[in-house]
Amino acid sequence: MADTQQVCANYSNEEEGEESPEPETSRSRRRRFKASNMSFGEMLEMVDILKKADYDEKYGPYPNPNVRKAKIIAKVVRSLHRNFGVRRSKDQLRKRWSDLKLREREQCRKIRRVLQKRK
């Protein structure tokens, strides 16, 4: 097994034109979160925060929309970790929100009904 690792390391170094086998810092240090199904409670929390913060910019133009959206998603990440002990990446949450809005409309309606009853 050590021989195959050495061969793979040499092959990748030849492709990249590097002399020394340096570890890839940009990819190896990137944190990966295992994608798992979101519970209904997690989705409620996420949708509640996104709606309150006007994530979809329904109530006016904002000066730096991308920065603003990144801060809102970071708030959702912190909230899910604090309340449910689940770590989700920002990309996972963005994709889940998009899926809820576009593909899973019935699920989104259920969430909105529950949020209306909370108020």
Residue 42: how many CB atoms within 10 A of its CB? Answer: 19
Taking 50 as the threshold, does the pLDDT of residue 97 lie above it? yes
Domains in the chain: boundaries: 33-118
The two tokens of residue 20 are: 């020394």
The shares of helix, strand and coil residues in the chain, as percent rounded to the nearest 5, are 65, 0, 35
Query: Among 22-31, 45-54, 92-101, which stretch is predicted with the lowest mean pLDDT?
Result: 22-31
Q: pLDDT grade, residue 14 (50/70/90)? A: very low
Q: What pLDDT, on the 0 to 100 scale, is given for residue 47?
A: 96
pLDDT tens per residue, range 69-85: 999 999 999 999 999 99
Report which of residues 66 and 11 the model is more confident about. Answer: 66
Taking 60 as the threshold, does the pLDDT of residue 22 lie above it? no
Could you tell me which residues come within 8 angstroms of residue 87 by beta carbon, excluding any fewer than 6 positions away?
A: 33, 77, 80, 81
> How far is it, in rounded angstroms, from Cα 31 to Cα 97?
21
Burial 98-112 (b: 16+ CB within 10 A, else e): eebeeeeeeebeebe
Q: How far is CA 55 from CA 19, 28, 31, 61, 67, in A?
A: 48, 31, 25, 11, 11
- The pTM score is 0.71
Percent of all residues in the chain with a pLDDT value above 70, rounded to a whole number: 74
| CA pseudo-torsion sign 27, 29, 34, 35 | negative
- Mean of all residue pLDDT scores within the chain: 82
